[in-house]
Structure 1
Amino acid sequence: MTEPLPHDVTGSGPVLLVVPGGAGHPMGLQPLTERLARHFTVVTYDPLGLAHGRLGLPVPDQRPAHWSDGAHRVLEAVLPPGERAFVFGTSSGGIAVLDLLARHPERLAGVVAHEPPCVTVLPDGAERRAELLGQFDGVGRPPAEGGSATPMGVFLAHVLHPFTAYVPSLRGAGPRLTLAAGADSRGQLLHRTAVFLADRLGGAFAEFPGGHLGTLDHPEDFACLLTGTFLSGTHTSA
């Protein structure tokens, strides 16, 4: 049997899988996960193992399916038989959880995808993706390998381009899916994308505190709303 990918577990209660953004390094998420752990068994997935000793090692170009397959393996390892998990992903992690719901829905009770940058779904998606990628063109790219490697370097080299080309294939996701965007992101590309996806996929839409980095900037309020979203009963249908 294939071993699950690196992950950390804290708290008790229903299982809540958290998929970070960027290159999947969970840096800065501890205040959020500590708050969530009051109500959930929080399983923080580290898809590339960057927080578990692999930062600096060679990384191939990533695909959402790579991350969702790993997330499924983690869930199979931690979920008791017959139980289903809640799942939260932000940014590139939001794309991964959309793919997880499309490919492995049987173990999921509810999914919240926060500002997934799959902008090619928009009617003007090609232009908007070029615009999004252009925002990073002027960034001095930090190393992706070696002793000075950074998670941002890995993200820019191996995650950003393939993930932003992803087009979700869900149909009838219904009450299990909520697309989320930050209240401070109104009028911005990823807020528009989340609203469009909610309508296209038949899910709900919700605004969360802050902007794209609301998980880091407002962890207490963000965790409170996320907890209410999952435990309100709207994410319990099959």
Structure 2
Amino acid sequence: MSPAAALRTALAVEALKLRRSVVARIATVLLVVLVPLASVGAVALARSPRAAGPTAAKLAAYATGDLATTHLMVCAQVLSVAALAAAGFFVAWSFGRELESGTAGAMFGLAVPRGTIALAKCLVTLAWIAACVVLTVAVTLAASAVVTMSSGEPFDGAWAHVGTALAAGLLGGGLALPFAWLATVTRSQLGTVGGLVGVVALTQIVVLLGGGSWFPYAAPSLWTGMGGADAAAAIGLPNLLVAAAVAPLAVAAVVRAWRHLTNV
């Protein structure tokens, strides 16, 4: 079997697994439904007269400004974290399940190389999370249009932040691929999820210590304004390129690890 044919076969199989995955279905629904609801709901709550005390303080950044623009700004902030979480849980399932259950031993008898299977898993994951991000932003745009126009405000400002929301979501999804490597070396879905939770906690510590701009897991969120205007201004193209470089490096590491898998 040629390398191209092997990759096509592996992609078809992994795409079928994705369509039948309960984890992927739940993650897709949560992204496409909850992120738009959170984006519109947070702004509505921030501008409600009932917002007071700690709630008003936390949502103060959303209380003023163009309504549609603020919806997309919140969407970008939420997506930068939600896409990482969704893709992280999926790669824990996709890579960890077969290794944890022992069924990966059957792969040693396949005509498709194990490295090609790992590459297909990564590509299918990236395609799925990219589709989820695009659909989530589209739903947020539609919900924002309904709310904005019903309130009599212009909708023009939303388009300026569509690119930011898409980029933040794609960067967040790409940052989940190192956990595919973690699932491979630990052969544990639960261990991979634990690593994801640990990285999220570490990110908070790094940001508090002032090193978030060069930390890949913090830069996309800070860029969207989650840490405030000053933190967002400190994020430039080099910082985002560092975050973007994580995905291809992780793919290379995962493919190499799968090529060296042992049937034990």
Report the TM-score, using the length of structure 2 for normalisation: 0.25
Higher strand proportion: 1
Report the TM-score, using the length of structure 1 for normalisation: 0.27
Higher helix proportion: 2
